[in-house]
Amino acid sequence: MGRWGGVIVAAIGVLGLVGCGSATVEGQAGTTKAGEPVFDPCSVPDDVLHTIGVDPASERRDIMGVKQPGWSLCGWNDPDVSFFVTIYATGRPLEEILTNERFVDVTPVDLAGREAFTVRETSDTRNEHCDVVLAAGPDTLMLQTSFAKGLPPSQSPCPQAIENAKLLEPSLPR
């Protein structure tokens, strides 16, 4: 798989978890869609990204620049392109994400007093990804940490995902 192949597959998998449909909100001029997120994941400050170990200049918005209905996403990688952080934002409720059958190992974690959960994707056969999922203002965020080459079965990507989420947390809406 190419340089971005694994990240694109992960993004498509996550976005496929709740479907792409959205409807226009009654009383609006047709510009606001139900389920569209308010938070811009690319608004994370560069100093936070440097602390995590990813390069702000590697920023990727959406999937190959294409906006996904109901979602906003932004991702970055480390200089060696072996480790990725992607923030997915949706206007869908937290419970809808947590109860989706695409996720296993839903585990509560404390994130600076916020209710948050780690989740693993059923399709992650190479032990590459872990998401920290939480409500942030009116949105639900999925903070995904991915390892390009995966990890041995005896290791989990979730401890690193939790650490990254702790570093990102002050930059996220409440």
Residue 36 lies in a domain: no
Short-list 2, 13, 3, CA closest to 144: 13
Q: Is the pLDDT of residue 98 over 50?
A: yes
Residue 11 lies in a domain: yes
Mean pLDDT to the nearest integer, 127-145: 97
Residue 53 lies in a domain: yes
Q: Is the pLDDT of residue 91 over 60?
A: yes
Give the pLDDT score at 19.
46
Q: Are 87 and 104 in contact (CB under 8 A)?
A: no
Q: How many domains does the chain have?
A: 1
For residues 30 and 27, give the distance between their C-alpha atoms in angstroms, rounded to a whole number: 8
Give the pLDDT score at 32.
41
For residues 53 and 63, give the distance between their C-alpha atoms in angstroms, rounded to a whole number: 22
Residue 40 lies in a domain: no
Residue 26 lies in a domain: no
Least confident interval from 33-37, 48-52, 86-90, 138-142 = 33-37
pLDDT tens, residue by residue, 22-51: 333 333 333 445 569 999 999 999 999 999
Residue 135 lies in a domain: yes
The CA-to-CA distance between both ends of the chain, in Å, stands at 37
Q: Using CA atoms in the order 6, 115, 167, 157, what is the torsion angle rounded to 10 degrees?
A: -40
Give the pLDDT score at 65.
85
Whole-prediction pTM value? 0.82
pLDDT tens, residue by residue, 69-84: 999 999 999 999 999 9
Domain span at 120: 5-18+47-169
Give me the CATH number covering residue 119. Answer: 3.40.1000
Mean pLDDT to the nearest integer, 98-125: 96
Q: Is the pLDDT of residue 117 over 80?
A: yes
Give the pLDDT score at 33.
58
Residue 67 lies in a domain: yes
Give the pLDDT score at 138.
95
Residue 94 lies in a domain: yes
Q: Are 138 and 91 in contact (CB under 8 A)?
A: yes
